[in-house]
Amino acid sequence: MKLCFNEATTLNNSNLENDLVLCEETCYHFIEIRIDKLKEYLCKHTIDGLKNFFDSHKIKPYAFNALESITFRNKYDYNSIKKDLNFLCEVGVEINCRKIVVVPSFDIKDCSMFDIKWETVNVLDDLASMAYEYGMKLAFEFVGYPNCSVNNFSHAYDIIQTLDRTNVGIVLDCFHFYAMGSKLEDLKIADPQKIFIFHLDDAEDRPLGILRDENRVWPGDGVIDLDQILSTLKYIGYNEMASLELFRPEYWELDPREVITKGKEKMIKILDKYFTIEP
Ligand code: ZN
């Protein structure tokens, strides 16, 4: 199992340049790059500079986060998503970052589950065709909010199974999995090859459907039964990576070095019981 840092964890107290240096020092294997931080970075640096950094350091890029609200868009907005996808594919090829997280839309009115499924399948198919030309993969992330069009594991997994493209898989995020009551039985029958990204986090004690990203806490400090999720992942043979993804404003007040260091310790403490962490 390899350790990854998702830049949302230091969203407001660090930038890409700083995250890279700190994650390298702290010996994370991977980083998930946020698009906003990437765009900010490229105002002062070049893609070549970023490529050189990865070529000369141990840490490697794992994925870009995220193309949001990809479904049910008007033509103008959808074209802007495609433009961003194109940009990420071009950067991804240069720095060898092959995955892009894509997120379904919220507040869909008057749509059946059937409509949502086929809209999502069709949009993913279209975007995946574009990504395929670059050798890029899409990781579809359901969001555990009641108003998200795809908000649980079984719905998301059914969509990517129906689509059945080698370059489309799923993001398993413990917070989202818990937040709308996804079922371990569904994870138990999943193909580990289809889990493209694993987001490790925890949640404060709130009712299902009420939890929001700011309620995320250090892995092991909340109410999610991470032991059950991790033992299920081990059971199905998933052993790729775990990425620390917290959106907690309180942690954005801390020194980013402290967040990155403490996050790694918290991850290892919980992962260690089930997986061998690669050196
Ligand atoms: Zn996530």
* 130 SS3 class: helix
Question: If we measure between CA atoms, which residue out of 82, 45, 46 comes closest to residue 67?
Answer: 82
Q: Distance (Å, rounded) from C-alpha 32 to C-alpha 44?
A: 20
Ligand 1 centroid distance, CA of 199 (Å): 5
What pLDDT score does 109 carry? 87
The pairing of beta strand 99-102 with beta strand 195-200: unpaired
Other Cβ atoms less than 10 A from the Cβ of 235: the count is: 13
Residue 120: its pLDDT value, please?
A: 98
Q: Three-class SS of residue 33?
A: strand
Compute the distance from residue 272 Cα to the ligand 1 centre, in Å: 21
> How many whole angstroms from 71 Cα to the centroid of ligand 1?
18
- Token digits for 196? 């493209």
Token duo for residue 88 = 């990420």
User: Closest Cα to residue 174, out of 148, 141, 150, 207?
Assistant: 141
Rounded Cα gap, residues 136 and 118, in angstroms: 22
- CA–CA gap between residue 150 and residue 127 (Å, rounded): 17
Hey, what are 144's tokens? 């555990």
Which residues of the chain carry a pLDDT beneath 50? none
Distance 228 CA to ligand 1 centre (A): 18
Q: How far apart are CA 3 and CA 75, in angstroms?
A: 38
Distance of CA 171 to the CA centre of its chain: 6
Output b/e per residue, 203-229; b: 16+ Cβ within 10 A: bbeeeeeebebebbbbbbebebebeeb
Residue 212 CA to ligand 1 centre (angstroms)? 12
Query: 67 CA distance to ligand 1 centroid (A)?
Result: 12
CA–centroid distance, 101 to ligand 1, in Å, is 9
Task: Estimate to the nearest angstrom the gap between the alpha carbon of 118 and the chain centroid.
Answer: 23
CA of 30 to the centre of ligand 1 (A): 15
Q: How far apart are CA 20 and CA 30, in angstroms?
A: 10
Supply φ then ψ for residue 242, to 5 degrees.
Answer: -130, 130
